Amino acid sequence: MMVATRETLRSWFYRPWFLAMIAAVLSASLLIAGGMFVAMRQIEQSESQEMNAQGERFLARLEQLFGQLRESLDDLEAQPLRSCDDEMIATLQQVTFNYRFVYEAAYMDASRICSNRPRQEGLSVVRPPDIKGPTYSYWLNTTTEPDENRAALMLGRGNFRVATSRGHLTDMVDLSPGSSLLVVLDHGSRAIPVLGVAQDWPPTEVWPPKSRDALQVTQTRLIYRMRTDNPEYQLVLITPRTGMHIPTVWWWMVPACLVLGAFVGFFVFMLVRQRQSLDAELNGAIRRGELQVLYQPIFDLDSRNCVGAEALLRWRRPDGTLTSPDLFIPMAENTGQIRQMTDFVLQRLLEQLGPVLRANPQLYISVNLAACDVMVPRIGQVMARLLTLHRVAARQIAFEVTERGLIDVVVARENLQALRDVGHQVLIDDFGTGYCSLAYLQTLPVDCLKIDKAFIDALGHDAASSGVAPHIIHMAQALDLKVIAEGIEHEAQAVFLSSEGVKFGQGWLFAHALSAVQFIELITRGRRLAGRRLDDEA
């Protein structure tokens, strides 16, 4: 049941349209989510900037108001009049004329109250002051009526009172419905609204009251705490959040994200189709015989005689075009077809070269092994059957493994040792490009190191990798290993490598990759063949 379910799911995940749909939905969702996140952040920043600006304007106006109210009180306290008569009323009127933000001024004693606005009752409050300082007393929110011409703040000194109107505050910032300007007293435990409606204090919803940030954003409100020089009170502006009004331009983001998601889905669809198409083509290529084995000769650098070859798998389409091994080999490794290809190479080379190998016992052919074949003992069983069938010695078939193919060194060591025990040589291909350390190399059953072409190309150049090849050569000599240099294209490279003690090499200097017929001709003639290039070098 579990196997059937797993296979069903696997078959679904190999369907191009299903993978394309998942890619489209995920990409569109991620793009929309990311865009909405950016939009929300921008809206929050806009809200915060607006609230900060509003709070700064309020604070500047309050400082002006309190400054003028205190100055006007100082002027009234300094003049000698102390009775409610016409001269006092004229003095009070002059004060309101001299100070822009003083809306009403009054004198009161035990028996009478006189004001420059006798019909107003704003300064007739008798409740204790909300803030009582050493010089001035403060009454906050003396009226909650929405009339702009009613007193909102009142200061007192001695027998005098002065007040400002609501309009002197609201002309700077028009509070939105539900907003309030509060004065927080008693170490943050009580708040009196100077403007707007009364608010619960401290706020009932979660918010960080001890944060040093001036602006606090909760789910429903913006709370702006203004810095004051007086530790006895704090000014707080509270306004409800108006909701996330996403700008119109951001709504174009949704269809744009959907279009991009569809494009990603189409791209994934085409990629999977291409991969599946290539996979199917590769299956057909094996059946139709489009795969062919070429042989890259290996030469003795001193005598320049051919001592062997590396078997290379090539895919030639019916139209004559070649598909790069870098494309179809990794795909075959992922799909498991690489085992079938390895078996094909082994069978084909023995069919093609069996007679010449039997006639030349010193000759050998090396075959590349994929990681999956290094990790299991299968290849030894396949090879034993083929060698018996074609009457070829095991020492004439070598196996090349890459450093990257040694996934589990312990398991690889056991399987490679089993191959060596029956006579096969083991070569490390492209040495220096993987992660095989000297400590591992000493424990692996290896006969030969092949130096990657990239390090051979660097010889004689002022490059960081120019010293890698000599280092590998000396290390191999210390471990009593043979060395084969790949990709030799110039005589100077061959001479230098020979002088360093390298015994064998391969590359276009000696021969290109050859067909079986050409390779047999090369061996039969017993000399170097400078034939035409049939394929790119491995």
Reported as a single tens digit per residue, the pLDDT across 194-211 is 777 777 777 766 655 556
Residue 333, pLDDT above cutoff 80: no
d(CA 318, CA 284): 12
Q: What angle do CA 230, 231, 232 make, to 5 degrees?
A: 90
Task: Give the pair of three-digit tokens for residue 126.
Answer: 């008798």
Measured in whole angstroms, the distance separating CA 449 from the mean position of its chain's CA atoms is 39
| Higher pLDDT, residue 121 or 494 | 494
For the chain, give the mean pLDDT: 79
Helix (H, G, I), strand (E, B) or coil at 323: strand
In this structure, is the dihedral angle defined by the CA atoms of residues 284, 287, 289 and 292, taken in order, positive or negative?
Answer: positive
Where residue 362 falls among pLDDT bands split at 50, 70, 90?
Answer: very high
Question: Is the same domain home to 236 and 309?
Answer: no
Rounded (5°) CA angle 60-103-140: 65
pLDDT of residue 530: 42
Q: Are residues 211 and 297 in the same domain?
A: no
Q: 317 and 183, same structural domain?
A: no
218 and 300 belong to one structural domain: no
Calculate the CA dihedral of residues 371, 376, 378, 380 and round it to 10 degrees. Answer: 90
- The CA–CA distances, whole Å, from 177 to 47, 437, 441 equal 16, 74, 79
Report whether 330 contacts 527 (CB < 8 A): no
* Last-in-domain residue among 197, 224, 240: 240
- Which helix (H) or strand (E) segment holds residue 295: the answer is strand 291-300
Is residue 531 within 8 A of residue 321, CB to CB? The reply is: no
Please report whether residue 256 resides in a domain: no
Both 346 and 471 in one domain: the answer is yes
Token pair 């915060």 is found at: 48
Q: Are residues 224 and 359 in the same domain?
A: no
Are 264 and 316 contacting, i.e. CB atoms less than 8 angstroms apart? no
Residue 79, domain member (yes or no): yes
Report which listed range, 13-17, 232-236, 414-418, is most confident: 414-418
- With respect to residue 281, please indicate whether it lies within any of the assigned structural domains: no
Name the percent of the chain in helix, strand, coil, to the closest 5.
45, 20, 35
Coil, strand, or helix at residue 294? strand
Residues 214 and 304 placed together within one structural domain of the fold: no
Tell me if 261 is assigned to some domain: no
SS3 81: coil
Q: Are strands 131-132 and 137-140 parallel, antiparallel or unpaired?
A: antiparallel
Q: What is the mean pLDDT of residues 167-189?
A: 76
Is 477 strand, coil or helix?
A: helix
Domain that holds residue 361: 291-525
The tokens for 185 are: 């007293």
Structure confidence at residue 479 (pLDDT): 85
Note the pTM of the prediction, 2 decimals.
0.52
**CA 327 to CA 342: how far, in whole Å?**
16
For residue 527, how far is the Cα from the chain centroid? Answer: 57
Percent over 90 (pLDDT), the chain: 28
Q: How many CB atoms lie within 10 A of CB 328?
A: 22
- Based on the fold, state whether residues 496 and 389 are members of the same structural domain: yes
Distance, CA of 403 to chain centre: 30
Domain boundary among 208, 224, 240: 240
Q: Give yes or no: residues 295 and 215 share one domain.
A: no
The residue that leads in pLDDT, 400 or 247, is: 400
Residue 90 lies in a domain: yes
Residue whose C-alpha is closest to residue 515's, from 497, 534, 528? 534
Mutual orientation of helices 516-525 and 338-359 as an angle, nearest 10°?
A: 30
- For residue 7, the Cα-to-chain-centroid distance in whole angstroms is 33
Residues with Cβ within 8 Å of 278's Cβ and at least 6 positions away in sequence, in order, are: 327, 328, 331
Q: State the CATH number of the domain containing residue 347.
A: 3.20.20.450
Q: Which amino acid is at 458?
A: A
Determine which of 260-264, 411-415, 522-526 has the lowest per-residue pLDDT on average. 260-264
Same domain, 313 and 451: yes
Q: What span, in angstroms and rounded, lies between the C-alpha atoms of 183 and 192? A: 5
In-domain check, residue 268: no
**Residues 229, 304: one domain?**
no
Among 240, 257, 275, which residue terminates a domain?
240
Q: What is the pLDDT of residue 538?
A: 37
Buried b (16+ CB within 10 A) or exposed e, 69-97: beebbebbeeeeeeebeeebbebbeebbe
pLDDT category of residue 529 using cuts at 50, 70 and 90: very low
Number of domains the chain contains:
2
Q: Lowest mean pLDDT of 74-78, 234-238, 386-390, 480-484, name the range.
A: 234-238
Residue 306 Rama label (left phi>0; alpha psi -120 to 50; beta)? beta
Please say whether the beta carbons of 515 and 481 come within 8 A. Answer: no
Pick from 175-189, 234-248, 453-467, 507-521: least confident? 234-248
At a CB cut-off of 8 Å and minimum separation 6, what does 148 contact? Answer: 165, 166, 167, 170
Cβ within 8 Å of residue 476, ≥6 positions away:
449, 482, 483
Report if residue 277 sits inside a domain. no
- Here the tokens at position 369 are 């092994």
The angle at the Cα of 447, spanning 303 to 442, to the nearest 5 degrees, equals 135
Higher pLDDT, 501 or 150: 501
Task: Give percent above pLDDT 70 in the chain.
Answer: 77
Is 468 a domain residue?
yes
Do 230 and 355 belong to one domain? no
**Phi and psi torsions of 105, nearest 5°:** -130, 145
| Range with the largest mean pLDDT of 1-15, 333-347, 450-464 | 333-347
Q: Which strand (E) or helix (H) includes residue 139?
A: strand 137-140
| Residue type at position 168 | H
* Three-class SS state of 511: coil
Angle at 425 between CA 419 and CA 426, to 5 degrees: 80
